[in-house]
Amino acid sequence: MITFGQAAAFSVSAMALLVIPGPSVLFVVTRGVALGRHAALATVAGNELGAACHVVLVAFGVGAVVQRSLVVFTVMKLVGAAYLVWLGVRAVRHRRRLGEALAAPVAARGRRRLVGDGFLVGVSNPKTTLFFLSVLPQFVDTHRGHVTAQLLALGTLFVVLATLNDGLYGLAAGSARRWFDRSPRRAEAVGGVSGLVMIGLGVRLALTGRRD
């Protein structure tokens, strides 16, 4: 199983990525603002079910291949880094995206539909996919053995952290709407800062080596 040090280091990296409003967070916030807290939490549940699918796939197949092959690992790491930088540049260029998401109208939907929509967003979120493929394997200690178990444990920790993070975004969506309405520049500032942080994460990922 994983050590406390592994869990702590992984949690810091995971939260650095999770706190940045990405596709899943924006979707949760949109649902929370338009349909209320219950809808936001149902969307979060769907999102994390999608993320859990990534955990299982990585732990029982793709993750093991990435972990054992330096070439595959390096390629995935660089692809992930490039994608993060691209997301960051895009966020800076489109700094009003969060405000637009808050203002977008959403039709009423049943809870099952909300969970289903959240699942589709979560399972197709490229940021989550690349994080599991390029970042997660870095925190696996091959000398301890049980690589699959370590991947499952770390992936589960990610899902727990994502649930807490996305849930807080959803619960705070109503207050955020009023806060942004008082000053449209705030949404632009949040988008710009998020983009710069994303670029920093991409550069850090590209410069990070394996710990074999």
In a domain, 197, yes or no: yes
From CA 66, how far away is CA 138, in angstroms rounded?
A: 10
Average pLDDT, rounded, for the chain: 77
pLDDT at 139 over 80: yes
Radius of gyration of the chain (CA): 17
- In this prediction, what percent of the chain has a pLDDT beyond 70? 69
pLDDT at 189 over 60: yes
- Between 48 and 132, the higher pLDDT residue: 48
Lowest mean pLDDT among 14-28, 81-95, 154-168: 81-95
Q: Is 54 within 8 Å of 155 (Cβ atoms)? A: yes
Confidence of residue 177 (pLDDT cuts 50, 70, 90): low
- In this prediction, what percent of the chain has a pLDDT beyond 90? 13
Q: Which domain holds residue 99?
A: 4-207
Nearest to 152 by CA among 34, 63, 84, 79: 63
In a domain, 212, yes or no: no
The pLDDT score that the predictor gives to residue 162 is 93
Q: Is 26 within 8 Å of 94 (Cβ atoms)? A: no
The pLDDT score that the predictor gives to residue 163 is 95
The pLDDT score that the predictor gives to residue 158 is 94
In a domain, 61, yes or no: yes
Query: How many domains, in total, are found in the chain?
Result: 1
Q: What is the DSSP letter of 19?
A: T
Give alpha helix (H) positions in 69-123.
Answer: 70-93, 97-103, 111-123
